[in-house]
């Protein structure tokens, strides 16, 4: 049903070859392995029924005590254009935004996380030929976050301030569910914590109720298959680095 809405999965953005004929539905493993953070989108709208279908499926994400502690703001069309224009104007005097209400990364990030973050940044900029010393090139790419990389739909996720780490984890599962369902539907996404630096402006514009904290944005749309930046394929650590088995 989901694929019928979009004409089937878009297979170009796979992390590894998908060893199945196209008429076999995408499995969860396929979706996990083919989802990537897409940073260039086609100028092609996504209809409201499609967005609703994604959220209708993603809402079955689990949450401790079934609290379902998520809120989604969906913005498109003229409303999205206006928001982007506001940020564009504010960025001129304030490229670092308004700060953020939470630390996007730990202030003193240690290894191995620091090296992973560094490599991801380097690999990303390499896809578009931006070298380490090209500060302007890096700034321009960062600013692309606030254009939603050209995506036609923006999602923002917020959570009630009373919520604890457990509920933030629930929110993460919900966000991943959104991204996997979108992948199944042939759509592409990029979660964007960068939007946290504009929390005040977003708080007023969306609006985000005072008792909620904005976590992140998400670009959603159809990936541009010709964009160099979409060729990035990030790697993952071997199980031996993060799994401890006992009893096997």
Ligand X SMILES: Cc1cc2nc3c(=O)[nH]c(=O)nc-3n(C[C@H](O)[C@H](O)[C@H](O)COP(=O)(O)O)c2cc1C
**CA 136 to CA 81: how far, in whole Å?**
24
H-helix or E-strand spanning residue 206? none
Query: Which of 151, 190, 197, 220 touches ligand X (CB under 6 A)?
Result: 190
Site string for ligand X, 198-217 (x = CB under 6 A): ------------------x-
Nearer Cβ to ligand X, position 187 or 194?
194
Name all contacts of 94-99 with Cβ < 8 Å and 24+ positions apart.
95/139, 95/143, 96/197, 97/197, 97/198, 98/197, 98/198, 98/199, 98/200, 98/201, 99/197
Phi, psi of 12 (to 5 degrees): -70, -25
Is residue 123 part of the contact set for ligand X (CB under 6 A)?
no
**Nearest 5 degrees, angle CA 35-CA 76-CA 168?**
55
The CB-of-144 to ligand X minimum distance in angstroms stands at 8
CB of 75 to ligand X, least distance (A): 16
Using CB under 6 A, which of 120, 134, 169, 201 touches ligand X? 120
The answer to whether 234 contacts ligand X (rule: CB under 6 A) is yes
**Of residues 143-162, those binding ligand X (CB under 6 A):** 145
Alpha-carbon distance 125 to 132, whole Å? 8
13 lines the binding site for ligand X (CB under 6 A): no
The residue range among 47-55, 78-86, 184-192, 237-245 that interacts with ligand X, by the rule CB under 6 A, is 184-192
Under 8 Å between Cβ of 166 and 64: yes
Residue nearest to ligand X (CB): 194
Return the H-helix or E-strand segment holding 186.
none
* Host H or E run for residue 214: strand 212-221
Residues in the chain: 248
3-state secondary structure of 129: coil
Which positions from 29 through 88 interact with ligand X, judged by CB under 6 A? 36-37, 39
Mark the segment that binds ligand X (CB under 6 A) among 55-63, 64-72, 192-200, 202-210.
Answer: 192-200
Task: Check binding of 235 to ligand X (CB under 6 A).
Answer: no
Strand order in the sheet with 188-192: 71-76, 153-160, 212-221, 188-192
Residue 149 φ/ψ, nearest 5 degrees: 55, 25
192 binding ligand X? (CB under 6 A): yes
Cβ 172 to ligand X shortest distance, Å:
7
Nearer to ligand X, 164 or 244 (CB): 164
Is the Cβ of residue 48 or residue 139 nearer to ligand X in the bound state?
139
Q: Mark the segment that binds ligand X (CB under 6 A) among 42-50, 79-87, 92-100, 188-196.
A: 188-196
Question: What are the residues binding ligand X (CB under 6 A)?
Answer: 36-37, 39, 120, 145, 190-194, 216, 234
């Amino acid at each position: 049903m989901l694929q019928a809405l979009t004409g089937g999965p878009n297979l170009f953005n796979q992390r590894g070859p998908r060893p199945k004929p196209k008429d076999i539905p995408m499995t969860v493993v396929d979706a996990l392995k083919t989802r990537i953070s897409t940073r260039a989108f086609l100028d092609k709208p996504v209809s409201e029924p499609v967005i609703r279908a994604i959220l209708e499926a993603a809402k079955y994400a689990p949450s401790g005590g079934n609290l379902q502690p998520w809120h989604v703001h969906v913005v498109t069309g003229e409303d999205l254009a206006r928001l982007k224009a506001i940020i564009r104007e504010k960025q001129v005097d304030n490229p670092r935004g308004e700060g953020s209400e939470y630390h996007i990364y730990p202030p003193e990030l240690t290894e191995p996380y620091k090296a992973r973050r560094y490599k991801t940044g380097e690999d990303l900029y390499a896809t578009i030929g931006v070298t380490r010393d090209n500060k302007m090139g890096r700034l321009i790419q960062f600013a692309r976050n606030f254009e939603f990389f050209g995506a036609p739909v923006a999602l923002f996720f917020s959570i009630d301030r009373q919520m604890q780490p457990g509920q933030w984890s629930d929110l993460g599962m919900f966000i991943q569910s959104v991204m996997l369902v979108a992948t199944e539907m042939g759509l592409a996404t990029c979660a964007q914590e960068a939007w946290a630096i504009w929390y005040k402006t977003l708080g007023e514009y969306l609006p985000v109720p005072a008792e909620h904290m904005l976590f992140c944005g998400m670009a959603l749309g159809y990936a541009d298959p010709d964009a160099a930046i979409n060729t990035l394929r990030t790697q993952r650590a071997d199980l031996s680095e993060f799994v401890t088995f006992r009893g096997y």
